[in-house]
Every structure is written in C-alpha cells, then in structure tokens.
Amino acid sequence: MKSRRITLIPQQRVAVTMMSALFLASAAFGKEDAREPALRAAEKTRFAAQVDVDARTLAALLDDDLEYSHSNGALDTKSSFIDSLTSGRRDYVSTTFEIQSVRIFGDVAIIRGTARVEVLDGGKSLNLDLGYTDVWRWKDKRWQMTAWRSARMPPPAPPQ
C-alpha cells in the first residue's frame, strides 16, 4: 500500500495550528476536573477530623511531607500536628469554614478559603478568623494535604 503525503501551504499550517490550539485549550479549560468533589469532601473531612481528634483519618488525609504553618508562625509536620491533637496540647473545639476557590493543576490542587476556629492552644482559648491556603496532591489515588498556611484576618471595621 502506497502512503500519501499531504502538503500544506503556510496559511493552511497556521490555520491547522490555531484550530489545534483552540481545541486543546477548550478541552483543558472547558471541563471541570472530576476529582474536585472528592477534594472538597477531603477538606470537609479533614476539618471534622481535627475537631474530633481522629488521628486515623488525619493520617490518611495528610501527606507524609506535610508543612502546616499556623497563623502564629509555628510550623508542624504531619506527625507533630497529629501528636499536638492526640496529646491535648492543641484542641480544635469548633471550626466553620468556607471554600472560596479550588484550582486543580494536574495532580496538585490549591484551595483558598476562610475559617472561624475556636482552639485551646496550650490551655489558652483563642477564637480565630483565618484566611487560608492549602495545597493538596493526588497521590495513591486520593487527595492528600501537603501544605497549609493561614493568616489571621483583621476584625471588621466599625460602622461609621
């Protein structure tokens, strides 16, 4: 069987290249990642596990290389974070949160949100309004949180 060769003139090459780029861009940006609901569920489960001091669930949801940067600047690893909860050094009494955005880039996801946290930290009661960013990675066919960074939000301005 004889193969045929198609020769395109420069204008046709440009048109084909542009059509291919548009097709790929629409495929990449036009549909949501099917793993997003699982990511949102993992975020909700993680917050609940912190309040419930569910070390087993946290061990499954937190990446072994976790860097957890608290709003006071303290840094925890996966093991030191879980230990702070199971030892009672830190007690998340309650947490309410709102996911403001989810961005997924291949096997990495970034969640940005706000949280209202009541915590006993070393026996000191704190009520914190936080803005946070956390990073998750798709590993072993599940989402695992690999980084957390939060900042205290300023109190609302008084009405004038």
Which CATH number belongs to the domain containing residue 138 in this structure? 3.10.450.50
Q: Is 129 domain-assigned?
A: yes
> Would you state the pLDDT for residue 125?
95
Contacts with 129 (C-beta within 8 Å, 6 or more apart), sequence order: 114, 115, 116, 152, 153, 155
One-letter amino acid for residue 23 of the chain: F
Domain annotation covers residue 55: yes
For residue 92, being part of any structural domain is answered with yes
Q: For the chain, give the mean pLDDT.
A: 87
Model confidence at 25: pLDDT above 50:
no
Encode pLDDT of 68-105 as tens digits: 999 999 999 999 999 999 999 999 999 999 999 999 99
pLDDT tens digits for range 121-158: 988 999 999 999 999 999 999 999 999 999 999 877 88
Measured from the Cβ of residue 32, the count of other Cβ atoms closer than 10 Å reads 10
Position 160 confidence tier, pLDDT thresholds 50, 70, 90: confident
- The number of folded domains in the chain is 1
Burial class of residue 96 (count of CB atoms within 10 Å of its CB; 0-12, 13-18, 19+): exposed
Is 29 part of a structural domain of the chain? no
SS3 98: strand
- What is the rounded distance in angstroms from the CA atom of residue 90 to the CA atom of residue 83? 9
Q: Tell me how far apart the alpha carbons of residues 127 and 119 are, in angstroms, rounded to a whole number.
A: 7
Q: Say how far apart CA 106 and CA 142 lie, in whole Å.
A: 13
Structural domain boundaries, residue 87: 36-152
User: Model pTM greater than 0.85?
Assistant: no
